[in-house]
Amino acid sequence: MNFDKTESVSLSTSDINPDPEFFPKHVAIIMDGNGRWAKKRLLNRIKGHKKGTEVVRSIVKTCREIKIPILTLYAFSTENWKRPKTEVTALMTLLKSFLLTEQEEMMDNNIRLNAIGQIERLPDEVQDVLRSTIELTKSNKGLLLNLALSYGGRDEIVRAVRQIAEKVKNGIIDPDASKNQITEDLISDHLYTRAMPDPDLLIRTSGEMRISNFLLWQIAYSEIFITDTLWPDFDRKEFISILKNYQQRDRRFGKV
Ligand code: FPP
């Protein structure tokens, strides 16, 4: 679904309706288009990722101000490991410096960091700073910033199935349908996002009409917005206009 950027919008966060019925509890973003942004400017792709990191800072700040409870950002997919080594290394370096420079900001602004994905595949020094930032911010009660790192939706489901199968093998869960122990809730509880509400809103930048293995189970009823804007050009104004547009949507969850 394409979002019309030309719609006249206010810049003010105060235009967002605070009524919990219309307020997204969880926003997820596929940040796409860093490479194309750089290419258009005859720059190295890494420059696009650098500019993209600045946009991350700005959108995190906006979520915090609007009091969105959870923001999940697709920062690195399981497929992204296949990119050239120099680009993977640059992304890991950017992530590490982002975490180091934002630690103070997170503490000052009550932000709790969490990571979803195959964290054990990240370079040791990234894992170290990631784990220490998660630990440092674990008691913060404001925005939950959830970074998807070496994340793949199918991989997440495979992992959940393995854990459930193990519990069945050990007699902890009865798979018999009449016992109703293997339920949708049980599966949700074995995903990285357990204890989080599913995203109400999924935004993808750069115009591609695909999900790219992101939160496959969790986005069953998410409202989807795809904007042609490349991630490094995405800004607070467009984010707010998408939130306003979301609040006008009629969410029926399959009902009439
Ligand atoms: C997609 O653009 C973007 C990524 C694969 C990485 C996203 C990373 C950042 C925004 C910066 C680091 C993140 C954090 C949280 C500090 P692309 O390279 O696929 O763009 P293209 O499709 O135009 O080539």
Of all protein residues, the one whose alpha carbon is nearest to atom 3 of ligand 1 is 32
Which residues, in sequence order, are CB contacts of 169 under 8 Å at separation 6+? none
CATH number, domain with residue 242:
3.40.1180.10
Any domain includes 29: yes
pTM: 0.94
Q: What is the three-state SS of 119-146?
A: HHHCCHHHHHHHHHHHHHCCCCCCCEEE
Q: Is residue 86 part of a domain?
A: yes
Q: Does the residue 242 lie in any domain?
A: yes
Q: Is residue 145 part of a domain?
A: yes
Our answer on whether the CB atom of 44 is closer than 6 Å to any ligand 1 atom is: no
Domain for residue 98, yes or no?
Answer: yes
Task: Render pLDDT for 103-117 as a digit per residue (tens, 0 to 9).
Answer: 999 999 999 999 999
Q: Are strands 144-151 and 70-77 parallel, antiparallel or unpaired?
A: parallel
pLDDT category of residue 254 using cuts at 50, 70 and 90:
confident
Mean per-residue pLDDT over the chain, rounded? 94
Report if residue 89 sits inside a domain.
Answer: yes
Domain count, the chain: 1
Is 177 contained in some domain?
Answer: no
Domain of residue 43: give its range.
24-149+199-246
Instruction: Give the residue-averaged pLDDT of 85-96.
Output: 98
pLDDT band for 223, please (50, 70, 90 cuts): very high
> Measured from the CB, is residue 33 less than 6 Å from ligand 1?
yes
